[in-house]
Amino acid sequence: MSNEIELIKDPGLPAHQHRRSDLDEKYAKRAENQVAILFLLSALGTLLLIVSYIFIPDDIFVFIPVMGETNVHQLLLGLGMAAALFFIGAGLIHWAKNLMPDEEVIAERHEFRSPDEDRAEFVKTVKAGAGAAALGRRPLIKRTLGLALGLSGLTPILLLRDLGPLPGDELTKTSWKKGVRLVTDPGDRPIKASDLEVGAVAQTLPELPAGEDHRSLNDIAKDAVLLIRLRPEDFNLDDERLSWTHEGIIAFSKICSHMGCAVALYEQQTKHLLCPCHQSTFDVTRAAKVIFGPAARPLPQLAITVDEEGYLIAQAPFNEPVGPSFWERSS
Amino acid sequence: MKRLSRLRRHRAAGPILLVFALLTIGTTFQVAGAVTETAPSVADRSAIIEEGKQLFLKGCSSCHGLNAEGGTVAPSLIGVGAASVDFQVGTGRMPMADMSQQAMRKDPVYTPEEVNALAIYVASLAPGPEVPTDEMLNYERDGSVAEGGELFRTNCAMCHNFAAQGGALTQGKYAPTLMGVEPKHIYEAMVTGPQSMPVFSDKTLTAEEKLSIIKWIKSVEAEPQLGGAALGRVGPVTEGLLAWTLGIGLLIGVAVWLAMKAR
Amino acid sequence: MTARERIAGNVAGYVDDRTGAAKWMKKNLTKVFPDHWSFLLGEICLYSFIILLASGTFLTFWFDPSMKEVVYDGSYEPLKGLEMSAAYASTLDISFEVRGGLLMRQIHHWAALIFMVGIVVHLLRVYFTGAFRKPREFNWIIGVGLLTLGIVEGFLGYSLPDDLLSGTGIRIAEAIIQALPVVGSYLAYFAFGGAFPGEAFIPRIYTVHVLLLPGIFLALITVHLMLVWYQKHTQFPGPGRTEKNVVGYPLMPVYMAKAGGFFFIVFGVTAFLGAVASINPIWLYGPYTPGQVSAGSQPDWYMGWLDGLVRMAPPLETHAFGYTISWNILIPGLILPGIMFTLLALYPFIESWASGDKREHHLLDRPRNAPNRTAIGAMALTFTLVALLNGGNDIIATAFHLTINQMMWFSRIAIVVLPPIAFIVTKRICLSLQRADRELVLHGRETGRLVRLPHGEFVEVHEPISPEKAWTLTSHEQLAPLELPEYDGAGVRRAGAIKNKIRNRISRANAVAVPKATESERRELEGHH
């Protein structure tokens, strides 16, 4: 036995197998007819599209299994278009497969690498060019050019400055102030403590100042507050936080401390609040402490009390910024 | 006698008897129904309370206590009101089949009359939310669908999903789909806050607003497929699934056909 | 010569006189393309892109990219009279007032999903067959760039209608920008023209969505295709196929008809989906306002893995010296994706560094013959899949009666534990498949026919496989591991010894293989019979 290991050899491209349509005109004719039928189906599809566009009103519905009551106009328009396109494709492919030559062709690849002398020539040209520009000998030019280019790169950044104002302390502020009433969202009705039963929630916003009748989304994005009423004995709060509640009613910012979704899935029995976006779970009885999920901070609590008419009002603004964290946030 | 027994063996005897029996039962119920519809006098009411109490003792007291004072596994029902009982029993959630995470909607165990009796009995223990009357539930007349949608999205969508299809809560609890739920039960749920659901007080969500919400839910329920199969109306997850199965599947199928040598 | 041929000749002559195109065309019309279904996956992306351009242009005729508040007065009753942005209202109008508008919207969105699915399966094909190796590294990087841009472009498109779902998505994007250390709140204010949501964002991303990114796409796709054209397509190993040739069909007419036909197929299938399956029913979501949210708020699938990572992140935040760093946002939202995409882009270079293989490759690997690469791919895929599943954990939980808490904990553990397991299992499967190939070449195919030998023993008849098949199964190279010097002649550690040691290690792991069958072994076995 020799030590030379012999590998299995390449038998080469197998001999071409003729198709039935190559050998027998009958099959070729059949393929031709099939292609024609496919193209005709496409034409029918376009007809269907035209008919449904012009003649089928868009308020007719028909029950179709799996889909349910379906809009006929939309469905036939789409199916017509789908058929029109699909069958052109199917016809072309069927044609190519059965009637166009199917003999495999071998093409040679060329090497990408340039010949060594070309590469050497290239390097020489570049060097000569650089030498002619004399960058190496005149460092002053090189450095000042670098400076100029670098500085000019600042232009677009500078021009983009007016995309928006600077945040200032806006992120830390909301419309809540001492004495502002909590009103229902939507509806703008002030709320009395007695309006809420134990286990009740209310979506609220700060009352609009007199003379204003419109709230911007920017305001809602920071002002939305959720009111929840529990039995006072259910709370597990320190004295300060307890003093922020009123007869078992506690108020939290509805804007998630994680990424700003509206946290309002209140589970009455477990007294947990859940954010539907990333499933952070907050315990209402412990001042919205995070008990599950990615949020790292409790929801900010709004101190509330009642005014002389008995309506719920804010005792003070939020004592921390609402919504997601940002760099300048101090806690 | 011989003739009777022959008739009894007649081929049509079975079906005829069945029709007869059904007619009898139907008429009885109609009569019975007519009875409850008339305003119950004090004597009737106490009779109904008594009936409700008996039903309660038989079907509910083992968990909720002999006087509905609650037990280790079930809450007190004193003060929950008729609406709560009508919702819980009328939707089949109570009696609970098993002590799972959450009572599910299923075919009610009790007839509407029995539910009514139970509700009146529980309401007699202490006042609570009443069962809304048909007049109170005329959402077609009193509700506004667009306003209802806005209210739904603010107050309900976070749990029940944007198209009232239901959604997940913590620890396996869930907000059920609202498709196919009777308006009365939707209303009662908002007033009483069953299970995980909070209460939506009449002052913060007025009766009219509640009807608007119901009107919107019913409009979504009746809404046909405007753009084709709804894919569960749960958003991008099922859409992505379809793109990864039917969409790319069809295309790869065609690609395989395209690259296959013709015979 | 017929009249028609004369006209064609004249036209061709006219063009060639001015451009000299005939020489180039003559060469390229007969260009050879190898045929394999998996080589069409990239075409799915290209055609989806064209569909996106066409349907997107249609949509721009009616879409009003403005966040100005309007009162809806269209034909969709449940939203009548509500305040909403002009963007949302005009999307409703496209859906309900423009005939075929809803169909076009749905085609546009389905095409976007298919575009991204196509990119991912194309990427997987290229990865698992080793098509990214020299000389195709540039195209790999362009591909990774297209994938990244596709995610961004898709997200922007999803955001444009300003419905409740997409608004929630923008809210989250804003939170990610805002979480950047030092510059976050400034960048957020610049992007949104002030506080969230403002009135500037949608008009701005509209320009990016319909002009800037499609332009970049067009440029990158052009370069991508030119490189494929110039470098010629790779091919699977087989009889007659070598590193020096390409076996397939000529562009004219076969490939042109097939590729052209496939464009219509992709468009047809997308239109079919647009006809039968609803996508992004924005009228049900309602207009965006920050005080509302829907249960099960998810991004489109190509962002789902990102959302899944964010969901499973631990609740970590650092507060120090009056500043805040939100690791719970930065790690899953920026750092991890950054690492993932960087590794993805650099993979060709990492592999060639580890294997020391700097040669050109035009023959593809069968995934089993590169066990390490295949196992790494399976590992990355498992990681992404766990993240993607967690991105839909609430929907999965309700559909299969699980809890979101279980799903979340499963994902948190699985994302660390499952990828290594996937690596080990995949590698073993690859080696087993290599062993099976070896058996097949040496002993032939099991026919299922039993024969009783004279002395009573039953044996199954094995049929030798064809020489073509035997060649296909054994034509791959089995490289020996690198043996880079760690010590110099005097037995002293060389500079760079540690680097060499690592490379040797990886290269040894890369080279683990079942020796492929050889002709010598076959002959020897025959001698025994």
C356 pLDDT above the threshold of 90: no
CA within 13 Å, CB half, A241: 18
Q: In chain C, what percentage of residues exceed pLDDT 90?
A: 75
Question: Is C472 in CB contact (< 8 Å) with chain B?
Answer: no
Chain C residues in contact with A262 by the CB 8 A cut-off are 290-293
Parallel, antiparallel or unpaired: strands C445-452 and A225-229: unpaired
Inter-chain CB proximity B239 and C301 less than 8 Å: yes
DSSP characters over C154-194: HHHHHHTT-BHHHHHHHHHHHHHHHTSTTTHHHHHHHHHTS
Average pLDDT, rounded, for chain B: 84
Give pLDDT, residue A245: 94
Chain B residues in contact with C81 by the CB 8 A cut-off are 146
Provide the residue type at B161 as one letter: N
Give pLDDT, residue A213: 83
Q: How far is B171 from chain A (nearest CA, A)?
A: 10
Average pLDDT, rounded, for chain C: 92
Q: How far is C442 from chain A (nearest CA, A)?
A: 11
A7-42 pLDDT, tens digit each: 888 898 888 888 888 899 999 999 999 999 999 999
Instruction: Determine the average pLDDT of the residues in C46-55.
Output: 97
C457 pLDDT above the threshold of 90: no
A331 pLDDT above the threshold of 80: no
A60-117 pLDDT, tens digit each: 999 998 888 999 999 999 999 999 999 999 999 999 999 998 888 899 998 888 899 9
Mutation to test the C interface, candidates B251, B254, B260, most C Cβ within 10 Å: B251
Inter-chain CB proximity C182 and A327 less than 8 Å: yes
A271-299 pLDDT, tens digit each: 999 999 999 999 999 999 999 999 999 99
C106-161 pLDDT, tens digit each: 999 999 999 999 999 999 999 999 999 999 999 999 999 999 999 999 999 999 99
Question: Is B239 in CB contact (< 8 Å) with chain C?
Answer: yes
Chain B residues in contact with A89 by the CB 8 A cut-off are 254
Question: Is A157 in CB contact (< 8 Å) with chain C?
Answer: no
Chain A residues in contact with B147 by the CB 8 A cut-off are 186
Report phi then psi at B122, rounded to 5. -65, -40
Determine contact, residues C443/C473, Cβ cutoff 8 Å: no
Inter-chain CB proximity B227 and C102 less than 8 Å: yes
How many B×C Cβ pairs under 8 Å?
203
Instruction: Determine the average pLDDT of the residues in A206-218.
Output: 89
Give pLDDT, residue B99: 67
Give the residue from chain B lying closest to A63, CA to CA: B224
Please compute Rg for chain A using Cα positions: 37
Give pLDDT, residue B7: 55
C265-280 pLDDT, tens digit each: 999 999 999 999 999 9
* Top-confidence residue, C480 or C76: C76
Instruction: Determine the average pLDDT of the residues in A161-189.
Output: 91
pLDDT band at B2 (very low <50, low <70, confident <90, very high): low
Chain C, residues 477-516, CB within 8 A of chain A, namely none
Q: Which chains touch B (3 or more CB pairs under 8 A)?
A: A, C
Question: Is C174 in CB contact (< 8 Å) with chain A?
Answer: yes
Give the distance, in angstroms, between the CA of residue A301 and the centroid of all CA atoms in the same chain: 30
A237-260 pLDDT, tens digit each: 999 999 999 999 999 999 999 999
Q: Which chains touch C (3 or more CB pairs under 8 A)?
A: A, B
Of B158, B206, B228, the CB nearest to A265: B158
Give pLDDT, residue C529: 53
pLDDT band at B26 (very low <50, low <70, confident <90, very high): low
Inter-chain CB proximity A325 and C324 less than 8 Å: yes
Q: In chain B, what percentage of residues exceed pLDDT 90?
A: 35
A135 pLDDT above the threshold of 80: no
List the single range of A300-304, B55-59, C202-206 with lowest mean pLDDT: B55-59
User: Is the pTM for the entire model greater than 0.90?
Assistant: yes
Is the link from the previous residue into A186 a cis peptide, with omega within 30 of 0? yes
Question: Is B172 in CB contact (< 8 Å) with chain A?
Answer: no
Of B151, B196, B203, the CB nearest to A268: B196
CA within 13 Å, CB half, C8: 6
Give pLDDT, residue B33: 46
B28 pLDDT above the threshold of 70: no
Question: Is C465 in CB contact (< 8 Å) with chain A?
Answer: no
d(CA B192, CA B82): 10
Give pLDDT, residue A2: 46
H-only helix segments in A134-207: 139-152, 154-159
Of C267, C311, C470, the CB nearest to A279: C311
B34 pLDDT above the threshold of 50: no
Give pLDDT, residue C521: 87
Give pLDDT, residue B32: 47
B199-211 pLDDT, tens digit each: 998 888 999 999 9
Give pLDDT, residue B70: 82
Chain C residues in contact with B196 by the CB 8 A cut-off are none
Is the link from the previous residue into A298 a cis peptide, with omega within 30 of 0? no
B35 pLDDT above the threshold of 50: no
DSSP characters over C5-42: HHHHHHHHHHHHHHH-HHHHHHHHHT-EE---GGGGHH
pLDDT band at B29 (very low <50, low <70, confident <90, very high): very low
pLDDT band at B11 (very low <50, low <70, confident <90, very high): low
Identify the sign of the CA torsion A257, A258, A264, A267: negative
Label residue C81 left, alpha or beta by phi (over 0 means left) and psi (-120 to 50 means alpha). Answer: left
Give pLDDT, residue B63: 85
Chain B, residues 116-175, CB within 8 A of chain C, namely 145-146, 148-150, 153-154, 157-163, 166-172, 174-175
Give pLDDT, residue B135: 87
